[in-house]
Homo-oligomer: A and B are copies of this chain.
Amino acid sequence: MAAALVRKLVFEVPVLRCRRLTSISQCLISRTGLRTMATGVKVDLSGVFPPIVTPFDEKENVNYDELTNNLQRWNSMPLRGYVVQGSNGEYVFLNKEERVEMVRRVRQATPADKLILAGSGCESTRDTIEMSKMMGDAGADALLVVTPFYFKSMMTSEALINHFTKVADNSPVPVILYSVPANTGLDLPVDVAVALSKHPNIIGMKESGGDVTKIGLIVHQTKDNNFQMLAGSAGFFLQSLSVGAVGGVCALANVLGREVCQVQTFFSDGKMEEAMKLQHRLIEPNSAVTKRFGVPGLKTAMEWFGFYGGPVRNPLLPTSEAHKEQLREAFTRNGFL
């Protein structure tokens, strides 16, 4: 019954949307230099994306100048592009205008060959569609759409497929699914990802849950659909590449962008020993700027590497002195400071 629904929903994709898609793709080509595939044009996500932080000043207002300064440094690295408004962008604390303005500013300060993936997820389908359109207009190359999650017990496969299908039907740019159970309490199921991979405007998925069996399985089951998996953390980046992920959205790349990219280069060059050693050294700093000390920790660490970190918005609290010490140690013990 669930399978029947999946088929129905997926095959219902209207002709209109396909036409719209083509023109969108054309506009994208001029900007980001996409590879063309047999099945149509897609955005190539291979590579590393930092989910960039949102810089605030002391009054918790967005500081766009510091954003531009950070981007200038990141632009010199072999990053594939940026995620704007991932969890680390504190998107849940930004209002509608700030969310769109962030995308616009990042687009302005980013060369055309780097991709902008913008987080347009809201709790309601209608708000997500509206945000997707605004972010597409503001220059996003693709949208990262988090699962709705407040009514988690109601988020059946059917509800999720319906939500993402409507968003993708109405989005001006391709959609990337986003599962981040540590924040949402909801794990996007394999069957939902596989069903949605058939939608022409859904091109991939960011998996932040750390379940690499799931990553391998989705790669396997979507191998005919050009569906691109992105590891959602540097902690399991090499493990994900080894089963077919094409890249990663890694908080740690805000700080150690070159090093995270280097893991993927080693892997692509068949240098597994080197890849493994570097991967190992990244786990503790990664854990420190994610699970252990969160966005406040990430922003603190950025300062040590020449970026602007600055304050977080409340209810997040600044990193305490004791935590700063442990955070620093996670970097020094692994030779990064």
| A positions within 8 Å CB-CB of B | 60, 87, 92-93, 95, 123-127, 148, 150-156, 158-160, 162-163, 166, 182-185, 210-213, 216-217, 219-220, 233, 235-236, 238-244, 270, 272, 275-276, 279-281, 283-284, 287, 291, 294-296, 313-317
Contacts and interface: CB of A to CB of B under 8 A. Distances in A.
Nearest to A271: B270
A220 B335 CA distance: 13
Contacts of A160: 315
Given A151-B183, A185-B185, A220-B283, A317 B92 contact: no
A272 B287 CA distance: 27
For the complex of A and B, the 9 pairs showing the least CB-CB separation, nearest first, are A125-B314, A220-B280, A213-B235, A185-B185, A163-B315, A239-B239, A93-B124, A242-B242, A92-B123
Given A123-B93, A212-B236, A314-B163, A153 B294 contact: yes
A213 B236 contact: yes
Contact of A317 (B60, B162, B211, B295): B162
Give the interface SS of chain A, mostly helix, strand, loop or mixed: helix
20 contacts: A92-B124, A124-B314, A124-B315, A153-B294, A154-B316, A160-B315, A162-B315, A210-B211, A212-B212, A213-B236, A213-B239, A213-B287, A216-B283, A217-B284, A217-B287, A239-B240, A241-B242, A242-B242, A243-B276, A270-B272
